[in-house]
Amino acid sequence: MPRLAGHRRALLSALSFASAVGLTAAMAPGACRAAESPKTVSFSTRDGGEIQADLYGEGEHAVVLAHGKVFDKESWRPLASHLSGKGLQVLALDFRGYGLSTPGGEEGSLWLDVVAAAGLLRHRGARRVSALGASMGGGAVARASVEAPDGTFYKLILLAAAPINDADRMKASSFLFVVSREERLLPRVKQQFEQAPEPKRLEILEGGAHAQHVFRTDQADALTQLIVDALAD
């Protein structure tokens, strides 16, 4: 019996591993590929926060990835590797209060983390800095584009972004709004889209998955391609 129990444990362990591998592959955008190992970097915000981030690749066009409330910088790894493989420099941050990132003196000012991330990428030689924000991170990206000086952000991609009150003041060369057809935030996203400056585009995906959760659905490839196309020079 002990030997049989050992075989059962080994089988369960193998099944668990296979399941985990399958989930990772399902979440990865596009065809399966080895994920690039990022460099861990840190940088300070205007209000004294200290932000940890993962840096992928090199390139004159860089993009900040800003996660949603229930995610972190690690959640972007498949997409970040995919984008860096296309010649983009990618920075996936942990917002203040997530992971090892620490807040500064201005409570709740997540947008400061996004602005500081853009500054780091400029310091590293990026000539253009775009930003992709999901849900909470989308609201932070939108606010950052309002508060930052003109020219800070090249393109903005807002994935079911938390709404801001003055979307008409956002500043970028173009805006892509993405939302799922059956999610409750759809009316607010449409409203933000109507308020945003031109040029802009709204894409509505099938299903009801919210923001980064779309990467766990059959719409993952469609979302990834929208992002790649939006960031193309």
125: left (phi over 0), alpha (psi -120 to 50) or beta: left
Q: For the chain, what are the domain ranges?
A: 33-231
Which residues, at least 6 apart from 201, have a Cβ–Cβ distance to it below 8 Å?
Answer: 174, 175, 176, 177, 230
Say if residue 6's pLDDT is above 80: no
What DSSP element (H or E) covers 191? helix 186-195
Please say whether the structural domain 33-231 has been given the CATH code 3.40.50.1820. yes
**Dihedral through CA 209, CA 215, CA 220, CA 225, nearest 10?**
110
Residue 1: pLDDT band by 50, 70, 90 thresholds?
very low
Spatial distance between the Cα atoms of 164 and 178, rounded to a whole number of angstroms: 16
Residue 107, CB half-sphere, CA atoms under 13 Å: how many?
0
Yes or no: say if 156 and 175 are a contact pair by the CB < 8 Å rule. yes
Residue 233: pLDDT band by 50, 70, 90 thresholds?
confident
pLDDT per residue as tens digits for the range 170-201:
999 999 999 999 999 999 999 999 999 999 99
pLDDT per residue as tens digits for the range 121-175:
999 999 999 999 999 999 999 999 999 999 999 999 999 999 999 999 999 999 9
Q: List the one residue out of 7, 83, 6, 2 whose CA is nearest residue 38.
A: 83
Note the pTM of the prediction, 2 decimals. 0.86
Q: Say what the pLDDT of residue 35 is.
A: 53
